[in-house]
Amino acid sequence: MGHAGSFLGAARCDVLLPPSDADVIVFGAADATPHVASKPSHAAGAPDAIREALRQAATDLTRWDFDQDGPLLDPGTTRVFDAGNLPTDPTTPEGNRAMIQAATSAVLKAGAVPFMFGGDDSVPIPFIHAFEHHGPVTIVQIDAHLDWRDERDGSRHTLSSTMRRASEMPWVENIIQVGMRGIGGSRQNDLDDARRWGATIITSAMVRRNGIQQVIDRIPHSGQCLVTIDCDGLDPSVLPAVIVPQPGGLTYLEVVDILVGVAAKGRLVGFDLVELVPERDVHGLSALVAARLACVALGCVTPRHSRIK
């Protein structure tokens, strides 16, 4: 039997004192830098909703998972622990960022792969920052929006600036952004800056026309990849529970193919999933999709004992 309330029934652990044999450590982060000062994240309940979505499936991890072409999870091969949710507070954004960075750093220092469930799209900023001594990394972002605003309402660390802040981190060598469409908060100068930096921008329409191989082609061979998924990157018919739905998004299987392609071309060293709004869910579909993507991502992690040192 697994541990009640944890992701896939994984054993619990302290994120700052990770087990030495962990391959993956999951943790939740409800808040980092609120879009509206001191207001709790619209996605604060997402980490527990994602865990709950697979509670029944977690009772038998040997069930065949066709998306992974293998069992749901083999604990003898991939050792997964769940550190619960960080005690973030929307009134202390600097403290939240420090907490997320410290947690991620501890996981990386232990040689495990951090899996973070947000929270809004500001939580990946300190998550990515924690890779400072574990780079270089290629970021593969799935999102409807560009996230290259330098600041918004005086803040430089909100959900509008995620990729802009990542671009300033020397250990980030590539940014591949997939799924852009519709209307967001970006302006022409933001798009110009992203292109000038060298970000690869693959819109949802480009995926429809040319498939996802164009994404995989941009990943360095054997490169370290950090995948960040904003739930609005998927089409709202697939994952409706987001704050700003945009028609024309990616399908579930397209995102699965991207994850599998990342693992085949490079190495998945970090994964986060953000912007699920449980209060907007329809029959739990969105939480299920998010949880299933996390399962596929787990299957893409090379276990510690199989890694090339």
Which stretch of DSSP H or E encloses residue 113?
A: strand 113-118
Angstrom distance (rounded) from CA 46 to CA 104: 19
Q: Taking the alpha carbons of 162, 15, 58, 304 in that order, is the dihedral positive or negative?
A: positive
- Locate all alpha helices (DSSP H) within 110-242, ordered by sequence: 124-129, 162-167, 188-197, 204-210, 213-216
pTM exceeds 0.75, yes or no:
yes
Angstrom distance (rounded) from CA 260 to CA 121: 23
pLDDT by residue for the chain (309 residues), tens only, comes to 457 699 999 999 999 999 999 999 999 999 999 989 999 999 999 999 999 999 999 999 999 999 999 999 998 899 999 999 999 999 999 999 999 999 999 999 999 999 999 999 999 999 999 999 999 999 999 999 999 999 988 899 999 999 999 999 999 999 999 999 999 888 999 999 999 999 999 999 999 999 999 999 999 999 999 999 999 999 999 999 999 999 999 999 999 999 999 999 999 999 999 999 999 999 999 999 999 999 999 999 999 877 644
Q: Does domain 7-306 have CATH number 2.60.120.10?
A: no
The domain spans of the chain are 7-306
SS in 3 state form for 15-46? Answer: CCECCCCCCEEEEEECCCCCCCCCCCCCCCCH
Angstrom distance (rounded) from CA 110 to CA 118: 22
Angstrom distance (rounded) from CA 161 to CA 213: 27
